[in-house]
Chain A
Amino acid sequence: MIDVQNLTQSYGKKTVLNQVSLSVNENEVCALVGRNGAGKSTFISSLLGLLPVKTGTIKINGKERSKKQHWENEIAYLPEKFMLYPSLTGYENMLFFAKTSQKPLNEAKMKEILTWVRLWEDKDAPIKGYSKGMLQRLGLAITFYQDCDMIILDEPTSGIDPIGRNEIHEILKGLTNKTILLSSHHLDEIKQLCTHVAYLDKGKITKYPVEDFIQLQHLGGR
């Protein structure tokens, strides 16, 4: 469970997040929505410990952020517009990240995940030849290998064609017993995948059940 209370983040005099609170409960799939520059990346960076938190508290599964070493085993993160190592093959990329973990290497699990994201056939090709969709699926495979209960995905379908997007949606729908925070601009994606929406605007977050958010959209409220 992710529990953020009164988080404030500023860049110079500009306050990006103002006393923001958000709880994402176990097995929820929560979309983080907001205009460009609303502070989604700042919020995610704060969650991940990439930005220092001066005001407010962040708890992951009840643990405060000072115990960072525990977090890394609990949150898996896939950034937006990542490129990985273009001259390495898909398998080599996954192997490198798998070996950064303190857990023993499990090649059977790697095979299983690569097959699931439909990259096993292309695993020995350098990823500079991969399409955007394939690269994104590889990123997801690397993230899933971490086997964390919580996953943060930053715009996982950004810049991907509709077919590629559908493939990613199918993969994400196949995830069970995971708490997911997913930053997205696509309403259809949110509708398909999410149970809740956290709407970030003017430094504040409001959380809705997904149906309510969609209805508000239709009424022109958001």
Chain B
Amino acid sequence: MNYIWKEWKESVRSKGLWLSLGIMIIVSLLMLSRSSDFSLDQGFYLLLVNLFEGLIYFVPILCLFLGAFSIFQEKEQKTLVMLLTRQESTLSFLGKKSLAIQLVLLAPIFVWFFIYLIPLKMNFIVDLHHYFLFLVALLGFILVFTQIGVFIGSISTSRMQITGIAVVVWFYFFFLHDFILLSVLPTITHDNVQLFSVAYFLNPIQAVRMFLESGLGLYSFGNMSRLLESFMWLSPSIFFGVNLLFWIGVSFALAVLLHRKEGS
């Protein structure tokens, strides 16, 4: 609780959180204004998909930077060393700090998208279940990339390192991962398609996209080929859940194991 209180006070008095939230608010309002011509019943779904596609590009890089710099500041300000020579171990520090960063980031976003329901209600027929799925997808996505950001902050010893690693991670998930999978696509058979599927859904962007789009009913899994059936051997929500747990767990474990105390 102490860390959450401190993180909240620090965040509300600095620019990072408000800048990120401001961008999200502007993007979601712009999307809404552009969607006002859509029909009353279908418009809601189109808006959600467009909004998600709009957010998916910059939310990861924002979360990577917020998570990483939040940890790095503790090194720069020497508060990390002060804490580690008290009651904290690296594990407990990173655990409490991760929880605090995640809560402080997620709470205002959650509140905004709760308020966002008001103009949505005024323009479209809102399905609350589907809106909830959208929120789960977005918040899950934020969780994963913020935790990867914490990992980057934990292993970095300079701000330049953070910038470099964050851009590489973002580039990997957006472009490189798909390129690598595309290059092995001709070799995919019925025997190895499950392995391919695991690699494909290891990318949080693909896992969350499939979760949301199938949840909104954009995909039908009724008439799939046998190959596609094997590819979708788990439901999208399980792929999403496992992906979430995998990246949060791996990022946290690596942040603890490869932690560097020093930071200039």
Contacts and interface: CB of A to CB of B under 8 A. Distances in A.
B88 A100 contact: yes
Given A50-B261, A82-B78, A84-B77, A72 B9 contact: no
Contacts of A75: 85
What does DSSP make chain A's interface, helix, strand, loop or mixed? loop
A128 to B, nearest CB: 9
Contact of A87 (B5, B10, B85, B261): B10
B102 to A, nearest CB: 19
B69 to A, nearest CB: 14
The main secondary structure of chain B at its interface with chain A is helix
A86 B87 CA distance: 22
Contact of A79 (B10, B82, B87): B82
Contacts of A87: 9-10, 13-14
Interface stretch (A20-28, A56-64, A91-99, A168-176): A91-99
Interface in A23-49: 48-49
B82 A126 contact: no
B129 interface: no
B2 A83 contact: no
Contacts of A80: 78
A81 interface: yes
B88 A88 contact: no
A81 B86 contact: no
B81 A100 contact: no
Contacts of B87: 72, 100-102
A175 B261 CA distance: 30
A77 interface: yes
Contacts of A78: 82
Contacts of A82: 77-79, 81-82
A92 B8 CA distance: 12
Contacts of A100: 2, 83, 86-88
Interface in B91-127: none
Nearest to A47: B85
Contacts of B46: none
B181 interface: no
A6 interface: no
A146 B10 contact: no
A100 B9 CA distance: 16
A85 interface: yes
A49 B82 contact: no
A83 B77 contact: yes
Interface in B110-160: none
Interface string A136-155: 00000010001000000000
Nearest to A82: B78
B40 interface: no
Nearest to A48: B85
B9 A88 contact: yes
Contacts of A85: 6, 10, 77, 79
A79 B9 contact: no
The 4 A-B pairs of least Cβ separation, nearest first, read A82-B78, A83-B77, A87-B13, A99-B2
Interface of A: 48-50, 72, 75, 77-88, 92, 96-97, 99-102, 126, 142, 146
12 contacts: A48-B85, A75-B85, A82-B82, A83-B78, A84-B77, A84-B79, A88-B10, A96-B6, A100-B2, A100-B87, A101-B86, A102-B87
